[in-house]
Structure 1
Amino acid sequence: MNNKKLKMTWEDSLKIYDTIVESCNGFERKGKKMIYTSSNGYMFTLLNKAGEIGIRLPKEEATKFMEQYDTGHYYSYGAKMKDYVLAPESLWNNKPIMVKYFEQSFAYVNSFPTK
Structure 2
Amino acid sequence: MDVTESQDEYAANLELYEKVVATNPEVKRKGKTMPYTSHNGHMFSFLTKDGKLALRLTDEDREAFVKKYGTEPVVSYGAVMKEYVEIPQELLQDTDELKQYFALSYQYIGTLKPK
Report if TM-score (shorter chain) is over 0.5: yes
Distance 2:25 2:100 in 1: 10
1:74 positional shift:
1.3
What residue is the counterpart of 1:15 in the other structure?
15
Report the equivalent of 1:52. Answer: 52
Q: Which amino acid aligns with 2:100?
A: K
CA contact (8 A) 1:48 1:77 kept: no
* Counterpart in the other structure of 2:92: 92
Note the 1:91-110 alignment, pairs <5 A. 91-110=91-110
Alpha-carbon RMSD across the aligned residues, in angstroms, is: 1.4
Tell me how far apart the structure 2 counterparts of residues 78 and 16 of structure 1 sit (CA, whole Å).
25
C-alpha distance 16-93 of structure 1, shift in aligned 2 (>3 A)? same
Q: Which amino acid aligns with 2:33?
A: K
Contact 1:48 1:76 in 2 (8 A): yes
Structure-2 separation of matches of 1:18 and 1:42: 19
Q: Cα offset for 1:56?
A: 0.2
List alignment gaps of at least 5 residues for structure 1: 1-5
Q: What are the superposed Cα offsets for residues 20-60 of structure 1, whole Å, 9 maximum, x if unpaired?
A: 11122321111111110000110000101011000000011
Structure 1 runs (4+) deviating above 4 angstroms are none
Tell me which residue corresponds to 1:27: 27
Aligned length: 110
Residue 86 of structure 2 aligns to which amino acid in structure 1? L
CA contact (8 A) 1:58 1:83 kept: yes
Inter-partner Cα distance in structure 2 for 1:11 and 1:85: 21
Question: After the TM superposition, which of the residue ranges 55-64 and 68-77 deviates more from structure 2?
Answer: 68-77
Alpha-carbon shift at residue 77 of structure 1 (Å): 2.1
Gaps of 5+ in 2: none
CA distance in structure 1 between the partners assigned to 2:59 and 2:79 by the alignment: 18
TM-score by length of 2: 0.89
**Paired amino acid for 1:76:** S
Identity %: 35
Name the structure with the higher helix share: 2
TM-score, structure 1 normalization: 0.89
